[in-house]
Amino acid sequence: MAKNDILGESLWDAYSNKVTTLMNNPQHQGEITEDEAASRGNKLIVADFGAESCGDAVRLYWEIDPKDDKIVNSKFKSFGCGTAIASSDVMTELCIGKTVQEAVKITNIDVEMALRDTPDVPAVPPQKMHCSVMAYDVIKKAAGLYLGVDSESFEEEIIVCECARVSLATLQEVIKLNDLTTVEQITDYTKAGGFCKSCIKPGGHEDREYYLVDILADTRKEMDEEKMKAAAESGMGGDFEAMTLVQKIKAIDAAIDESVRQFLVMDGGNMEVIDVKDADDNIDVYIRYLGACNGCSSSTTGTLYAIESTLKEKLSSKIRVLPI
């Protein structure tokens, strides 16, 4: 069957040649019986896994030499789309010759990479990445059955994006280190959310425990709290008017970060503190607008009022904000 007959002309370039070849001609499809394995002195493990999001399922057969836990033969049956067949076939091939302990380290990324024609071009379109995830999950299931443990025990970290194998801890660290403010930036830095997209926000093809939008919001909140704490330790918790210039600027930045900056960034803008000067009965805070805020009509009305009100409430009623 021709490639475009399987997938449709519009999807011609979305799949690697290796994927479409294995759709038609898988090398390891079939089954191994208990009697066959026993006749060779080996143990048979049969694991089933189904993906609720798409209805696909795979059955994995491992023939294992109990003397060294090595997988001497492996077959699969796939109940699903052509991509699931191709992914399962490569997954099965990757298992052969490895010990069970080595095989469980095979990830969906390994499967997808093995399906590529060239290293830098994805083998399948984003919405089909879950097929390689299914292959990864059935390996864990088989290893758990052989070793007598829960398959989830092989997962050492909380994985948020299964397609790209990105953990919760990695996402939090990348957001903090690079001061990320959007989900698009998270995807650029980590690839999380770049494939099936179900981890970005609720409403995707499968429910998730963690979503990028919530992780970003929670991490940004934590970052703001840390800044406020640092500012308090440097003097913000005391008398603002008695602070040094550096302490005043830190306190102002912390207050802005906590209550205002996120709204400026959402509209494509930002601001920075240029100087702080005592002027008779006022404390003048000189700021400069950045991005979309620069030249915006609201920068001298609503936005300016919001910034000044925040600083008056949190730091001193004498503050006067002056844009330059």
Render each residue's pLDDT in the chain as its tens digit; 324 residues: 444 444 444 455 788 999 999 999 999 999 999 999 999 999 999 999 876 555 678 999 999 999 999 999 999 998 878 888 999 999 999 999 999 999 998 887 888 889 999 988 888 887 677 677 778 889 999 999 999 988 777 766 788 988 777 889 889 988 988 888 999 999 888 888 988 888 999 987 778 899 999 999 999 999 888 876 766 655 445 578 888 888 888 889 888 988 898 889 888 899 999 999 998 889 999 999 998 888 888 888 889 999 999 999 989 999 999 998
Domain(s) labelled CATH 3.30.300.130 in the chain stretch across 238-323
Q: Nearest Cα to 282, choosing from 312, 252, 310, 302?
A: 312
pTM of the prediction?
A: 0.54
As to burial, measured by CB atoms within 10 angstroms (0-12 exposed, 13-18 middle, 19+ buried), residue 124 is: buried
For all residues of the chain together, what is the average pLDDT? 86
In contact, 148 and 123? CB cutoff 8 Å:
no
188 phi/psi in degrees, rounded to 5: -60, -40
CATH 3.90.1010.10 fits 3-155, yes or no: yes
The whole-number pLDDT of residue 254 equals 87
Rounded to whole angstroms, the Cα distance separating 57 from 85 reads: 10
pLDDT, tens digit (0-9, with 9 covering 90-100), for 178-198:
888 999 999 888 888 988 888
Tell me where in the chain the CATH 3.90.1010.10 domain(s) lie: 3-155
Q: Provide the annotated active-site residues.
A: 54, 131
Strand order through the sheet with 43-50: 43-50, 57-65, 70-79
pLDDT tens for residues 118-128?
Answer: 988 888 887 67
> 238-323: what fold?
GMP Synthetase; Chain A, domain 3 (3.30.300)
